[in-house]
């Protein structure tokens, strides 16, 4: 049997989707891990863009280096924005609706009464 998800109440002000809501900590943890890895990738792509754009002792044209660097920079920025959008979506999905929470409590209560009846 799978363990029950850890549920906690968040009272962070300023974020309307987090005011006094119940969240699944496993989903929040996965979302934060994914965000961290994606931001690391975006920073690395940005680093590559800078290295390509600032390269002056190469056989390629300097203009071509700068164009390729700009494309990489746009890719890094786009990936960072996508990462933040995905993180916010995942956090919203981690919110547990009140009716779902009540259903989980009812199921837990039913399971507890079934176990005591069998003994």
- pLDDT for res 78: 96
Please, which pLDDT band fits residue 111 given cuts at 50, 70 and 90? confident
Distance CA 69, CA 76 (A): 10
Predicted structure pTM score: 0.62
Tell me if residue 56 falls in helix, strand or coil. coil
Report the phi/psi class of residue 20: left, alpha or beta, with left for phi > 0 and alpha for psi in -120 to 50. left
β-pair type (7-11, 95-96)? unpaired
């Amino acid at each position: 049997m799978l363990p029950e998800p850890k549920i906690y109440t968040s009272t962070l002000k300023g974020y309307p989707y987090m005011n006094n809501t119940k969240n699944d900590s496993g989903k929040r943890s996965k979302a934060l891990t994914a965000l961290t890895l994606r931001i690391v990738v975006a920073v690395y792509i940005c680093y590559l863009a800078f290295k390509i754009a600032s390269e002056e002792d190469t056989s390629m044209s300097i203009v071509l280096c700068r164009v390729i660097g700009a494309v990489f920079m746009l890719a890094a920025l786009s990936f960072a924005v996508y990462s933040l959008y995905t993180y916010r979506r995942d956090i919203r999905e981690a919110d547990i609706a009140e009716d779902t929470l009540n259903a989980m409590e009812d199921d837990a209560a039913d399971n507890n009464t079934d176990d005591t009846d069998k003994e």
